[in-house]
Structure 1
């Protein structure tokens, strides 16, 4: 039982935001600011099935001491039954003995489901739910594809703290448009709003309490009485590669995992990724130049060196099924050694 191992409720923050807004980078920045003597746990849920974010966190060995990471693939954290997250959360807390918990739901998930689950009496004895932090790109307020999206709006609605990320890319009217949108649709006075660049969150923001509106559980059925299963994590192939699809909320994903003996060419990967017309791409690759993470959002491709990887894997998300055509061939063309 978790309760017997936890003396004080663990300060817990949900870090939410739509696809490509920079949630993972923000959490990486928070981890870099973690006091050395503290133990943190991070629970990550991804829309795709292969799981990239866990590999990104684990590849950062310099800031990894005292951090335990668990990922639940397939977007199931925000589903109505919530069984997978309950099991994963219990295992993570038992393993980590954490003094702080950060939860990153998928950018396509409904955060109200997660907040409702964590507000049950059972979890109130274990977790101290603090401010929900929602990252948003203020430029998206001009795009009805976002403002008409239920998930996008719910992420803003539930947040006590709203982070206008990527502020270095804004035009003069972008941030004021965000403030106007929040004022017209939500309670602006109940939210703290900050502009940042590159996910540079202040660790002190995590201490802000949650509101009473976010402490309404859907039911109080104890987690240990519910189904005890987790979605199977895809294993690294001993030969070749494997791929898997997922869909939901009007989006489609396809992920690939490659045998770790395969080496990719960095320049080939960058060129191939730049040429893809997709909403979102995350990948970690074993290359002839070391371990590299690639990220594509808003047609911008970035790459980062990692300290270690167990395999190469990539996840692509798009609102069009046809966008997946030809991606597998393009990735295989980037190989320099099998």
Structure 2
């Protein structure tokens, strides 16, 4: 199956015998709102200064927010917006990986797919794109939201188990949202599906790069099972299907925004005024040099003021049955003036 770096005596950041620059690849996978971007920012801030890093971030919306948040952390950041890299952006993914390897020559490439991506499809694409000349090995890191884990298991157990089985590192994030007893049950369920992966418990994505097991290359037997849909550790046939068919609304503006109006708007998003919203996020300029970030995850809204400035205010809403015209009107109404 994935014959990356087989029989090649060259490490990351070195030129391969074929004259290509090879790199390690970390796939940071996880459901919508699990905390992938926050976790990735922590990795970038705690990485070895001598390690050259690039990031390929995929947004489901037509505008990118995660790329803006990741920029400025001593890494080359490339955005791949307007779709899912495991569905509609296959050719773009290959071209971007090749360009990153040849242009930036990183030791490590982090790929953060949209939360709507399926790891089975993504690994299958990487297998089919003949990228072994650029990639030394692949490691799959799964970020889970402890607060929504049991709900996701109930809604689509096979999907969650497939994501678990494919990971070498499983980060259980937002542990502050559950009791110690619930956390113990989550660990027990994880171990029934994946008995060998490294399990890390944290909140706010706070994991240091040095805490991650290295190297942790996906075993070929596990990869074969994931790609072929074989029987998993639970004894059930694993189906790698998304939890639902998502749609998105995204927009950007150069105008100033009113914080109180934004709070009311995100409260209405949480109450499903504009359709069934699974995830919403935005960065907004509220004064000449002041920016605020809003996040809606699991019906909870959070806000934080940002230390750096951006070019545009942006909003992404992901869900089903979205009233896009009404969303656009409400977005405009949040602007000052």
192 and 35 in structure 1: CA distance in 2 versus 1, 3 angstrom threshold = closer
CA RMSD of superposed structures (Å):
2.8
**Structure 1 residue aligned with 2:136:** 128
Alpha-carbon contact 2:119-2:163 (below 8 Å) kept: yes
Deviation at 1:149, TM superposition (A): 6.0
TM-score, reference length from structure 1: 0.78
For the 8 Å contact 2:152–2:160, the answer to whether it is kept is no
Counterpart position of 2:236: none
Instruction: Say which of 191, 202, 222 aligns to 2:197.
Output: 191
Listed as ranges, the gaps of 5+ residues in structure 1 are 219-246
Measured in 2, the distance between the counterparts of 1:88 and 1:138 equals: 32
Alignment of 1:1-338 (within 5 A): 6-7=20-21, 9-58=22-71, 61=72, 64-65=73-74, 67-79=75-87, 82-119=90-127, 122-143=130-151, 147-148=155-156, 151-184=159-192, 186=193, 188-204=194-210, 205=212, 207-210=214-217, 211-213=219-221, 249-258=244-253, 260=254, 262-277=255-270, 278-288=277-287, 290-298=290-298, 299-322=300-323, 324=324, 326-337=326-337
How many pairs were matched up?
Answer: 297
Q: What TM-score do the two structures reach when normalised by structure 2? A: 0.79
With over 3 angstroms needed to count, the CA separation of the structure-2 counterparts of 1:145 and 1:331, relative to structure 1, is farther
In structure 2, the CA distance between the partners of 1:253 and 1:140, relative to structure 1 (3 Å rule), is same
Deviations 1:107-138 (CA, angstroms, capped at 9, x unpaired): 11111222233345832232122431101123
SS of the residue aligned with 1:275?
Answer: helix
Gaps spanning 5+ residues in structure 2: where? 1-14, 228-241, 271-276
Structure-2 change in CA distance of 1:175 and 1:248 (3 Å) = closer
